[in-house]
DNA sequence: TCCCGTAGCACTCCGATTGT
DNA sequence: ACAATCGGAGTGCTACGGGA
């Protein structure tokens, strides 16, 4: 089993609320994925088991690894309406094949993992040929928002921004546990988006802030947009 | 004020049952 | 044998309360 217990990628670092905002997932939904839930049926209470394994069950916080896993799961659920129990089965299979509890954050998932995963889902729900192709493309596209370290473990994540200054500039903001404790920062400069927005809120102009942090106005606008969508979530 | 947890409603999906 | 329907399970979400 691949282990990276004590590293920064598997340390509780994000509250459920923050993670839900970054990923655009309702807080309670994310909480259900993390902690499971119970629900009433005619034969009594039933349990919905957690989909994502937190690093420390005594703490509600997610690790960076959990954040990336939730991102992948959200896309699979939202784009392809695959039932969670099928996802669960496919993930169990992936865990065995990859010999890790976190197959979705391995670089191998990008190469042979996507095909393996789609094949598993297909076996469980009999996806159409076009559906399989669409799912492969979606997964491969969303994996372009993740970068891996030398060990093949996800170490940088580019959250989706609703508005970007111009096409092809949607990787302005990223989260990296080794930079600013994993808070959202501007790519290149490493300036926290929250710091930028607090200056703007205090009355500084976009150009002033851009100059102060040695950023472009487009980067500042993207940071404002990212923080605004988090607040609205 | 914010975060966390719980209750419960609404909706979808799927399998069982019933009708033709 | 197939189609229609029904009911329960599973899941997402809102609302609300408690605690820091």
A31 touches strand B (CB under 7 A): yes
pLDDT in tens, A24-55: 787 888 888 888 877 777 767 777 778 888 87
Q: Where in chain A is the domain with CATH 1.10.10?
A: 173-232
d(CA A184, CA A182): 6
A83 touches strand B (CB under 7 A): yes
Q: Residue A178 CA to B10 C1' — how many Å?
A: 42
Q: Residue A80 CA to B13 C1' — how many Å?
A: 14
The mean per-residue pLDDT over the stretch A180-207 comes to 85
User: CA separation (Å) from A38 to A41, A48, A58, A73?
Assistant: 10, 6, 19, 20
A126 touches strand C (CB under 7 A): no
Class of domain A173-232: mainly alpha
Strand C contact nucleotides, protein CB < 7 Å: 8-15
A78 touches strand C (CB under 7 A): no
- The sign of the dihedral angle between the CA atoms of A109, A111, A114, A116 is negative
The mean per-residue pLDDT over the stretch A109-119 comes to 75
A131 touches strand B (CB under 7 A): no
Give the model's pLDDT for residue A2: 47
Q: Within 10 A of A144 (CB to CB), how many other CB atoms are there?
A: 11
The mean per-residue pLDDT over the stretch A109-131 comes to 70
Give the model's pLDDT for residue A142: 77
- Give the closest nucleotide to A19 (alpha carbon vs C1'): B3
- Give the closest nucleotide to A43 (alpha carbon vs C1'): C8
Q: A217-232 and A193-201 are packed helices; what angle lies between their axes, rounded to 10 degrees?
A: 90
Residue A1: band (very low, low, confident or very high) from pLDDT cuts 50, 70, 90: very low
A128 touches strand C (CB under 7 A): no
């Amino acid at each position: 089993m691949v282990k990276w217990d004590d590293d920064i990628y598997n340390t509780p670092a994000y509250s459920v609320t923050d993670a839900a905002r970054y990923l655009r997932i309702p807080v309670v939904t994310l909480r259900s994925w993390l902690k499971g839930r119970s629900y009433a049926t005619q034969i009594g209470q039933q349990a919905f088991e957690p989909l994502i394994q937190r690093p420390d069950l005594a703490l509600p916080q997610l690790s960076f690894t959990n954040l990336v896993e939730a991102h992948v799961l959200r896309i699979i659920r939202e784009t392809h309406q695959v039932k969670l129990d099928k996802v669960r089965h496919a993930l169990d299979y992936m865990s065995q094949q990859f010999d890790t509890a976190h197959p979705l954050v391995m670089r191998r998932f990008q190469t042979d993992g996507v095909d393996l995963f789609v094949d598993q889902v297909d076996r469980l729900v009999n996806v159409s040929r076009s559906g399989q192709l669409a799912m492969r493309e979606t997964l491969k596209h969303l994996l372009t928002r993740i970068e891996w370290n030398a060990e093949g473990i996800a170490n940088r994540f580019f959250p989706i921004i609703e508005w970007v200054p111009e096409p092809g500039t949607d990787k302005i903001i990223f989260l990296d546990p080794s930079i600013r404790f994993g808070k959202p920062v501007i790519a290149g400069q490493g300036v926290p988006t929250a710091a930028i927005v607090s200056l703007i809120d205090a009355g500084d102009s976009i150009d002033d802030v851009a100059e102060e942090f040695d950023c472009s106005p487009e980067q500042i606008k993207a940071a404002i947009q990212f923080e605004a969508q988090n607040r609205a979530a």
